[in-house]
């Protein structure tokens, strides 16, 4: 955790670097030149650490793109927030309003810092091993950001701008790539290099846990190929994680979401939580907590599960109670046993995956003392091992091959009986039950499977069967991608074009 604590302590030159990292903007006058900074190993560490600072922004991996994930049939917006409601309803009224307007820029900020590391690493006086480690991190972080941008905003008609990292930032607007496959191919090339350079997780010292590692690069490669529809390569890279990544499922599903297992064998890549020291981390657990935390903590009350999600689970599936709290359930909050009730939930449910830290007394150090930034000491998963297994299963099925072994790894851990002759429908079911309420992104799954239109044409319901969200009109020709933030179009003087139909 020391690495993440030091991120907020850097000052001087690194603060100036942070202020101008957006590679789509003009570099401000007075900023130190790259030639004057990138000299020592300490410069390299300081510059690389700046890649991680924006990840702790509450609207990055706390909410941010989760407003887009919220479009799925698994959840509804729990409190009045017009921007989120409009996005969920695929209304263009969300454009140019609020937090979703910033998501493009936030990720290009990280890409900008990564590009600086990549561009200058050869100038550093350090060992080859040290330079390779940080170069691998920069390639991974750039790839992760480009991927999140590409699958949200890019399609066959237009991709995402690709920045020429060999040069200092260009003051001229950069047009979008011709199509999203240009982005995916760019990401794949970078991730393969990153995988060669990065150490394994086991080679990292505990103070560096949370930094990218080799299996994380392989796992992200598998997911990128999955989105490309390259089933052979998706299966190959998922299998690399499964056979060489020293990963395995924990015996108990709910243990995955406990802070003592932040960097367990199921870990792939997460956003660390450090409330004891900095009150920085992903605020997603607090975002999902009952609004006002039953008068004891400042939960925000968003992202509430639907009856459709609850009913998806089979009888005996241990994941259901670990994933969802329903009215009348017993649970522990602030050191006391409670019966779940809510003045906030539209559905009568709350996500339970992120509640473990709240079972302790709120002054125990597991939860941020700052209720306005309600993070916990859980390293919220962005990607975990079970998703890798399911990526391999899907890729095998799409090639007409048997995926029983992979799907049953997931089912047996959930307390369910194995299946034979598993189909794509079985895969979709397991992926939904396993990854609900996570950054794996159910909405994007429905889009890439071609299921979004029919799914969203149905109303969503609460625990008593009452309709809580009306059917929605999803037009794949438009809504398979999200609208490019209006501010990016304006600032580029029209060089960056809007997605058709938005």
Q: Has this prediction a pTM greater than 0.85?
A: yes
Residue 352 has pLDDT above 80, yes or no: yes
pLDDT above 70: residue 308? yes
Q: Is the dihedral of CA 56, 59, 64, 66 positive or negative?
A: positive
Closest CA to 355 of 367, 363, 346, 343: 367
d(CA 150, CA 394): 21
Quick: pLDDT tens for 309-339: 999 999 999 999 999 999 999 999 999 999 9
d(CA 37, CA 120): 9
- The answer to whether 216 and 199 have CB atoms below 8 angstroms apart is no
Which position has the token pair 């263009």? 92
Contacts of 248 (CB under 8 A, 6+ apart): 265, 266, 385
pLDDT digits 0-9 by tens, 417-436: 999 999 999 999 999 999 99
Strand partners, 271: 380
Range of weakest confidence among 309-313, 361-365, 367-371: 367-371
Pair 149, 471: CB distance under 8 Å = no
At residue 279, the pLDDT reads 66
- Cα gap 431→422, rounded to integer Å: 13
How far is 450 from 165, CA to CA, in rounded Å? 35
Dihedral Cα 313, 319, 322, 323, nearest 10 deg: -50
DSSP letter assigned to residue 20: T
Dist. CA 101–CA 64, nearest whole Å: 9
Residue 418: how many CB atoms within 10 A of its CB?
A: 12
Cβ contact 127:39 at 8 Å: no
Task: Note the pLDDT of residue 148.
Answer: 98
Strand partners, 330: 339
Helix axes 128-153, 180-197, angle to 10 degrees: 160
- CA distances in angstroms from 24 to 12, 165, 483, listed in the order given: 23, 11, 18
What CA–CA distance (Å, rounded) separates 189 from 491?
A: 30
Closest by CA to 272, choosing from 264, 285, 263, 281, is 281
pLDDT in the model for residue 278: 67
Residues 306 and 436: beta-carbon distance below 8 Å: no
Task: Classify residue 311 as exposed, middle or buried by CB count within 10 Å of its CB (0-12, 13-18, 19+).
Answer: exposed
**pLDDT band at residue 17 using 50, 70 and 90 as cut-offs:** very low
What integer best gives the mean pLDDT of the chain? Answer: 92
In order, the DSSP letters of 398-454 are: HTT---HHHHHHHHHHTT----SS--HHHHHHHHHHHHTTSTT-HHHHHHHHT-HHH
Nearest to 200 by CA among 217, 175, 183: 217
Q: Is the separation of the CB atoms in 78 and 462 below 8 Å?
A: no
Q: Is it the case that residue 18 has pLDDT exceeding 50?
A: no
């Amino acid at each position: 955790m020391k690495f993440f604590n030091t991120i907020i302590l850097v000052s001087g030159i690194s603060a100036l670097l942070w202020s101008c990292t957006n590679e789509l903007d003009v570099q401000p006058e007075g900023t130190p030149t790259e030639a004057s900074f990138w000299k020592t190993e300490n410069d390299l560490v300081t510059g690389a650490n700046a890649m991680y600072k924006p990840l702790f922004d509450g609207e990055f991996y706390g909410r941010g793109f989760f407003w887009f994930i919220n479009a799925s049939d698994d959840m509804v917006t729990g409190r009045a927030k017009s921007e989120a409601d409009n996005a969920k309803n695929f209304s263009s009224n969300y454009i140019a309003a609020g937090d979703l307007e910033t998501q493009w820029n936030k990720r290009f900020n990280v890409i900008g810092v990564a590009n600086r590391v990549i561009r200058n690493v050869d100038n550093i006086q350090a060992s080859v091993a040290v330079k390779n480690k940080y170069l691998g991190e920069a390639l991974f972080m750039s790839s992760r950001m480009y991927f999140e941008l590409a699958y949200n905003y890019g399609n066959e008609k237009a991709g995402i701008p690709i920045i020429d990292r060999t040069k200092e930032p260009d003051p001229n607007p950069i047009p979008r790539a011709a199509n999203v496959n240009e982005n995916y191919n760019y990401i794949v090339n970078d991730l393969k290099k990153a995988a060669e350079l990065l150490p394994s997780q086991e080679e990292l010292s505990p103070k560096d846990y949370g930094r990218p590692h080799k299996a994380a690069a392989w796992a992200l490669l598998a997911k990128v190929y999955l989105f490309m529809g390259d089933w052979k390569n998706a299966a190959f890279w998922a299998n690399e994680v499964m056979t060489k990544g020293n990963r395995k499922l924990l015996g108990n599903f709910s243990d995955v979401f406990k802070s003592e297992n932040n960097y367990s064998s199921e870990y792939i890549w997460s956003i660390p939580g450090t409330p004891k020291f900095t009150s920085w981390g992903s605020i997603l657990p607090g975002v999902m907590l009952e609004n006002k935390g039953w008068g004891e903590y400042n939960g925000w009350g968003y992202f509430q599960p639907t009856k459709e999600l609850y009913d998806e689970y089979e009888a005996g599936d241990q994941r259901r109670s670990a994933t969802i709290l329903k009215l009348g359930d017993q649970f522990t909050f602030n050191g006391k046993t409670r019966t779940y009730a809510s003045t906030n939930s539209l559905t009568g449910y709350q996500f339970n995956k992120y509640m473990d830290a709240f079972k302790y007394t709120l002054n125990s150090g597991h939860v941020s003392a700052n209720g306005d930034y309600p993070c916990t000491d859980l390293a919220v998963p962005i990607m975990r091992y079970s998703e890798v297994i399911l990526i391999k299963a899907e890729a095998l099925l799409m090639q007409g091959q048997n995926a029983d072994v992979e799907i049953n790894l997931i089912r047996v851990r959930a307390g369910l009986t194995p299946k034979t002759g598993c189909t794509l429908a079985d895969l979709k079911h397991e992926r939904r039950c396993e990854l609900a309420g996570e950054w794996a992104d159910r909405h994007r799954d429905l889009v890439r499977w071609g299921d979004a239109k029919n799914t969203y044409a149905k109303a969503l319901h609460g625990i008593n069967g009452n309709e809580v969200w009306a059917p929605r009109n999803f037009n794949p020709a438009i809504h398979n991608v999200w609208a490019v933030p209006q501010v990016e179009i304006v600032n580029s003087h029209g060089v960056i074009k809007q997605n058709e139909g938005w």
